Amino acid sequence: MNDAHIYEELYHFDDKHFLVLNRISGDVFMCKILTHYDPEVYRYLADNPDRHVPRIESVSEENGTLRVIEEYVRGSTFETVMIDPALSDRDKLSYFVDLCEGLKFLHSAPRPIIHRDLKPSNIMVCDDGHVVIIDYDAAKTFKPQQSQDTTCLGTEGRAAPEQYGFMQSDARTDIYAVGRMLNDAFPDNTRIRKIAAKAMSFDPADRYDSVDTLLNALTRKIGYKAKLKPLFPPPGFRSRTWWKMPLAIMGYPFLIYIAVSMTIENGSQAELIISKIFLVLYALTVIDICCSWTGIYDVFPFINDDRWYLRWFFRIVYSFAALIVMTVVFLFTTGIVRHLYSLFGL
């Protein structure tokens, strides 16, 4: 192995997988030697860490092989977790929701990353309960100009039909794999099995077109409330989409500027402060509704509907509803402040 002065081999799984110790930090990592790989996948994962993906420590390419040093993920595989008789359907579903959040991260890359080998043994549930997707040996970036995959990879019996050379893999390929796992994990739940059947449709056009729509089906039909999403990074920076980040870089400071420079005539200092607070809260609420920032509003009807026109129509409706509610609360609050000022002669 290279970097022998840094990494010490602890365990030899096979010729391509080693457990290694970083002599400097004392951390344990997984070392992989790959011959079939998409270097763009590992470069993106290394530059854009996410809690649902093993942290990439280093990547080096030489003589047609890729050497990856990555986080050694501790926990239980989906294989073990899903057969636990003590686990309720709701608890199982929470893991699938977290799995879909991980897929959203992969699929939202500038060139969407398709895992292509999702199966229970490639999904870990860590000790703290969050899901990590491992083994990106078969993963590739989506290339719009290709009509089919150049290499047929994936696990036989679990791979989507298009992986056998009919067309190029895309996000719906991973959705097919999630459907297979849903079908296996919920043998007696007819509602979830209906969702799984759609996700496993032979024709990709008949499946859910994105992980968002699959999540929406699960939350709408099963009534499961998704976990709150982390506040950071905020919308505009999460997917690192080239046109979203400049908008966010300009938009957030502009919002702060408007709030700071805001003035009101014939009003008290307290009313001015309240006005600024409500302005910022309303702006953040609209961002949350339209961009699914915290996930609080994801359970609202139609907010993640498969049809984009319905989805955005209701997001606008909910934004106006939020404006009305917050305006009423604002007027009530300022009314109380004015009454207090009048009462105490301030």
pLDDT at residue 154, as a whole number: 55
User: Residue 80 carries which side chain, given as an amino acid letter?
Assistant: T
Return the H-helix or E-strand segment holding 76.
strand 75-77
Tell me the average pLDDT of the chain: 86
pLDDT at residue 232, as a whole number: 83
Helices (H), the chain: 39-47, 78-81, 89-107, 171-185, 190-199, 211-222, 244-261, 269-291, 308-344
Task: State pLDDT tens for residues 9-25.
Answer: 898 888 889 999 999 88
pLDDT of 56 strictly over 90: yes
Among the listed ranges 63-67, 273-277, 304-308, 310-314, which one has the minimum average pLDDT value?
A: 304-308
pLDDT of 307 strictly over 80: no
**Residue 99 to residue 218: CA distance in whole angstroms:** 13
Do 204 and 170 contact (CB within 8 A), yes or no? yes
For the ranges 75-89, 111-125, 218-232, the maximum mean pLDDT occurs at 111-125
* Cα of 301 vs its chain's centroid, Å: 20
pTM: 0.68
Q: Which residues contact 324 (CB under 8 A, 6 or more apart)?
A: none
**pLDDT greater at residue 308 or residue 190:** 190
Structure tokens at 336: 């109380």
To 10 degrees, the CA torsion angle through 307, 310, 312, 318? -140
139 — phi, psi (to 5°)? -70, 150
66 — phi, psi (to 5°)? -120, 125
pLDDT at residue 148, as a whole number: 47
pLDDT of 144 strictly over 70: no
pLDDT of 179 strictly over 80: yes
pLDDT at residue 4, as a whole number: 57
**Residue 253 to residue 341: CA distance in whole angstroms:** 33
Q: Among positive and negative, which fits the CA dihedral 20, 22, 26, 32?
A: negative
pLDDT at residue 75, as a whole number: 92
pLDDT at residue 282, as a whole number: 93
pLDDT at residue 226, as a whole number: 56
Band the pLDDT of 181: cuts 50, 70, 90. Answer: very high
**Residue 324 to residue 178: CA distance in whole angstroms:** 40
pLDDT of 205 strictly over 60: yes
Band the pLDDT of 124: cuts 50, 70, 90. Answer: very high
DSSP structure class, residue 224: P
Band the pLDDT of 3: cuts 50, 70, 90. Answer: low
pLDDT at residue 296, as a whole number: 82
pLDDT at residue 219, as a whole number: 80
Q: Map out the domains of the chain with their CATH numbers.
A: 7-71 (3.30.200.20), 75-222 (1.10.510.10), 244-344 (no CATH)
DSSP three-state, residue 300: coil
pLDDT at residue 98, as a whole number: 92
Among the listed ranges 27-31, 56-60, 263-267, which one has the minimum average pLDDT value?
A: 263-267
**Residue 185 to residue 79: CA distance in whole angstroms:** 9
Q: Which residues contact 129 (CB under 8 A, 6 or more apart)?
A: none
pLDDT at residue 222, as a whole number: 61
DSSP three-state, residue 139: coil
- The percent of residues in the chain predicted with pLDDT above 90, rounded, is 51
Task: State pLDDT tens for residues 155-177.
Answer: 666 778 877 766 778 999 999 99
* Interval 185-199 mean pLDDT: 93
DSSP three-state, residue 177: helix
pLDDT at residue 332, as a whole number: 93
Task: State pLDDT tens for residues 15-55.
Answer: 889 999 999 889 999 999 998 888 899 999 999 999 999 99
Residue that is written with structure tokens 């994936």 in the block: 154
Do 262 and 279 contact (CB within 8 A), yes or no? yes
pLDDT at residue 166, as a whole number: 65
Q: Report the candidate in 131, 44, 104 with the shortest Cα–Cα distance to residue 291.
A: 104
Structure tokens at 295: 């996930």
Q: Which residues pair with 71 in a beta bridge?
A: 29
